[in-house]
Amino acid sequence: MLPIETLLAFFSAALLLALVPGPDNIFVLTQSIFQGKKSGIMVMFGLCTGLIFHTLAVTLGVAVIFQTSAIAFTILKIIGAGYLLYLAWQIFKAPSEKIDTKNNRIIDYKKLYYRGIIMNITNPKVSIFFLAFLPQFTNPNLGSVSFQMILLGGLFILATIIIFGMIALLSGSISQVFNKSEKSQMILTKLASFVFVALAVKLITTKQ
């Protein structure tokens, strides 16, 4: 079992890393603003499910493939960038309408959950990051390294739930401001679309 000091140090680092702007927390932010905090929370759970995949990938050694194989890394990178562009197009072509802060319209929460999963697992940078980050806190002398990796992955997911959950709750209230103006929402929609295009370009130009 890892010492409590190590676990606390890891958890503190995970909280800080979850705050760093990136595709995942930006997606939670935009969905919370457009469709309410519940939508943002469902996206968050989808993203965290994706983190389970990355934790297992690192534990089982699958992440090494993305680190050593340029072809595998490029394929997954293209898929991830393509999905970001798809999301950008879906947001861009969406008709301008008032944001439903009371969730009166039907929202497919299951679809949002799956979107979160796909967006997370198609980003090879997450697996490579886990491969570099998690082992720094393991100690072969303290038992199974695989168990330690899973434990650390679980703590990282908990930190993500805390930070992303706060983002969803806080940004959900922002939608009330944009609900007062159809023009404001149109501007926000185009801006969000641009952000996802920029994230796609950043991902596709990322090197191993």
Q: Is 189 exposed, middle or buried (0-12, 13-18, 19+ CB in 10 A)?
A: buried
Instruction: Tell me the average pLDDT across 165-187.
Output: 71
Question: pLDDT class for 177, splitting at 50, 70, 90?
Answer: low
Residue 97 CA to residue 61 CA, distance in Å, equals 47
Residue 87 CA to residue 40 CA, distance in Å, equals 15
pLDDT score for 185 = 65
Which of 116 and 96 is assigned the larger pLDDT? 116
pLDDT score for 176 = 60
Q: Considering the chain, what percentage of its residues have pLDDT values greater than 70?
A: 82
pLDDT score for 99 = 46
Q: Is the dihedral of CA 183, 186, 188, 194 positive or negative?
A: negative
Question: pLDDT class for 178, splitting at 50, 70, 90?
Answer: low
pLDDT score for 101 = 46
pLDDT score for 112 = 93
Encode pLDDT of 22-72 as tens digits.
Answer: 788 888 988 888 788 899 999 999 999 999 999 998 888 866 776 678 887
pLDDT score for 103 = 47
Encode pLDDT of 102-145 as tens digits.
Answer: 445 578 899 999 999 998 998 877 888 888 888 888 888 898 88
